[in-house]
Amino acid sequence: MGASIPLILAGKVNVHILENVLFGSILTVSGRDIAVLAAVSLPLLVVFALYFNRLIAGSFNPMLAQARGVNAKALDYLFVIMVTVVTVAGVKIIGAVLVGALLVIPAAAARILARSLRSFVALSVGIAGFSTIAGIMVPMQYDLPVPSGAAIILVAGSIFLICTALRALHPALKGDAA
């Protein structure tokens, strides 16, 4: 059912527009889009920094968080709202199909290497940021006909594979986070 809508639209909409929506395109991003992305990101980063410990406590052990006076249910809703806003903000650059992959792949790669929850979060953000920048810059630099979203996910997937290989080759890299 969900796949039928794009197929129906494909007959009525330019295929390139549909491809940009599904797989993202840096060429469709304007200065206004960047400003909106920054305006959305800054408050989310502040909220995340302020509530980091409570979000973690509420996520891993809601009963303990409740006993310590943390409203775990409200934090669950806050976290869902934050993920939703980040997802919607990233759709134009990454594409509707691949935005979920950018949420999961960097976290999976970070989990391989991280030794603490704080390093897990930092590595996840770093890998996602690097993947985004490299996925946009490499196809532009080498004139590759790859949509930006696909390139970003290819970079993130490559980092995941490298982390997996490093973990297999060096047992000392086995992270204990999450």
The CA distance from 109 to 176, in Å, is 13
- Burial readout 30-53 (b: 16 or more C-beta within 10 A, e: otherwise): eeeeeeebeeeeeeeeeeeeebee
Residue type, 59: S
The CA distance from 149 to 65, in Å, is 37
| pLDDT tens digits, 40-56 | 889 999 998 999 888 88
- Name the one residue in this structure whose structure tokens are 């039928």: 4
The CA distance from 171 to 87, in Å, is 34
Output the pLDDT for position 15. 63
Listed as ranges, residues in the chain with pLDDT below 70 are 1-20, 23-27, 173-178
Output the pLDDT for position 58. 86
Using a 10 angstrom Cβ sphere, with 0-12 exposed, 13-18 middle and 19 or more buried, the burial of residue 26 is buried
The CA distance from 78 to 65, in Å, is 15
The CA distance from 63 to 69, in Å, is 10
Render 75-107 in DSSP notation, one character per residue. HHHHHHHHHHHHHHHHHHHH-TTTHHHHHHHHH
Output the pLDDT for position 178. 47
Reported pTM: 0.77
Closest CA to 127 of 148, 99, 108, 144: 108
Residue type, 78: L
- Name the one residue in this structure whose structure tokens are 């797989």: 23
